A and B are shown apart, each in its own frame.
Chain A
Amino acid sequence: MTPDRGDVVYGSLGLLVLKTLDAVGPMHGYRLARRIEQISGNQLALNQGTLYPALLKLEQMDWVSSKWALSDTGRRVKVYSLTKAGRKQLAREEAQWQRSAGIIARFFNISEEPA
Chain B
Amino acid sequence: MRRADRDLDDEVAGHLAEAEADYVARGLSPQEARYAALRDFGGVTQVKQVHREMRSFTLMNWLDFKLGGRMLVKYPGLTFVGGIAMAFAICVGLVVFQILSLFLHPTLPLPQGDRLVEIRLMDLEVNDEEPQIFYDFLQWRQSLRSITDVGAWRNSSPNLIDALGDSRPVAVAEMSVVGFKVSDGVPLMGRVLVEADEQPAAPPVAVIGHEIWRTRFGGDPNIVGRIVKFGNEDVTIVGVMREGYEFPVAHDVWMPLKTALLDQTPRSGPVVIAFGLLAPGESLKTAQAELTTVGRQVAAQSPATHQRLEPLVRPFAMMTSPAGDPAGGLILYSVYVFTAALLVLICGNVGLLLFARAASREADLVVRTALGASRGRIVAQMFAEALVLGGVAAIVGVIVASVALRYWGMGFLEANMGRLPFWFDLSLSPATFAVAMLLTTLAAAVAGIMPAMKITRGMSDRLKQTTAGSGGLRFGGVWTVVIVAQVAATVIFPAIVYTERIVVSGIEEFHAGFPTEQYLAVQIERDYAAFGENADAAALERNARLAGTLEELRRRVASQPGVAGVTFAATVPTTGGPEKLVEMAYDLDASGLASAKAAGGAPQANGAEPPFREATIAAVDPSYFDVLNAQVLAGRTFTAADAAPGSRVVVVDQSFVDQILQGRNAVGQQVRFRYPGKAPRPWSGGNADDPPGLGDWYEIVGVVPELGLGAPTRKGRAAGLYMPATPNLFVQIQMMVHVPGGDPMTIAPQVREAATALDPSLRLVSLQRVNEVNNDVLWVTNLWVRITLVVSSVALLLSLAGIYAVLSFTVARRTREIGVRVALGASPRRVIAATFRRPLLQVTGGVLIGTIIVFTAALQIRNTEMAGFENDLTLAGMAKIVGYGALMLGVCMLACLVPTRRALNVEPTTALRTE
Residues of chain A having any CB pair with chain B under 8 Å: 28-31, 33-34, 47-50, 52-53, 56-57, 60, 71, 73, 75-78
Contacts and interface: CB of A to CB of B under 8 A. Distances in A.
A28 B14 contact: yes
Contact of B42 (A28, A30, A49, A77): A49
Interface string B46-63: 110011001100100000
A51 to B, nearest CB: 9
B17 A78 contact: no
B474 interface: no
Interface string B15-32: 101110110000000000
Contact of A56 (B12, B18, B40, B51): B51
Contacts of B44: 49
Contacts, number: 65
B18 A75 contact: yes
16 contacts: A28-B14, A29-B14, A31-B18, A47-B41, A48-B19, A49-B46, A52-B11, A52-B51, A56-B55, A60-B54, A60-B58, A71-B14, A73-B17, A77-B14, A77-B15, A78-B11
Q: Is the interface of B mostly helix, strand, loop or mixed?
A: helix
A91 B78 CA distance: 48
B371 to A, nearest CB: 15
Contact of B18 (A47, A53, A77): A77
Interface of B: 7-8, 10-12, 14-15, 17-19, 21-22, 40-44, 46-47, 50-51, 54-55, 58
Chain A interface mostly: helix
A71 B17 CA distance: 11
Contact of B17 (A33, A52, A75): A75
B19 A73 contact: no
Contact of B47 (A52, A57, A78): A52
Nearest to A37: B40
Given A53-B47, A60-B58, A29 B42 contact: no
A62 B54 CA distance: 15
A56 B337 CA distance: 42
Given A33-B15, A53-B47, A78-B7, 5 more contacts: A30-B15, A48-B40, A53-B50, A56-B51, A71-B18
Nearest to B19: A30
**Sorted from nearest, which 3 A-B pairs have the closest CB atoms?**
A47-B42, A49-B47, A49-B42
B234 to A, nearest CB: 80
A42 to B, nearest CB: 12
B14 A76 contact: yes
A11 B654 CA distance: 97
A28 B22 CA distance: 14
A29 B15 contact: yes
B21 A73 contact: yes
A75 B15 CA distance: 9
Contacts of B21: 73
Contacts of A49: 12, 41-44, 46-47
A33 to B, nearest CB: 8
A29 B54 contact: no
A24 to B, nearest CB: 16
Contacts of B50: 53
Contacts of B47: 49-50, 52-53
A47 B37 CA distance: 11
Contacts of A52: 8, 11-12, 47, 51
Contacts of B12: 49, 52
A73 B19 CA distance: 11
A34 B41 contact: no
A100 to B, nearest CB: 20
Contacts of B8: 52
A60 B43 CA distance: 23
Contacts of B10: 76, 78
A73 B18 contact: yes
Contacts of A28: 14-15, 18
Nearest to A46: B40
Contacts of B54: 53, 56-57, 60
Contacts of A50: 42, 47
Given A28-B14, A53-B47, A76-B10, A34 B58 contact: no
A88 B394 CA distance: 43
Contacts of A29: 11, 14-15
Which of A49, A52, A60, A71 has its CB near the most chain B CB atoms (within 10 A)? A49
A37 B43 CA distance: 19
B22 to A, nearest CB: 7
B879 to A, nearest CB: 66
Contacts of B55: 56
A107 to B, nearest CB: 26
A69 to B, nearest CB: 10
Nearest to B58: A60
A60 B374 CA distance: 12
A33 B14 CA distance: 13
Contacts of B42: 47-50
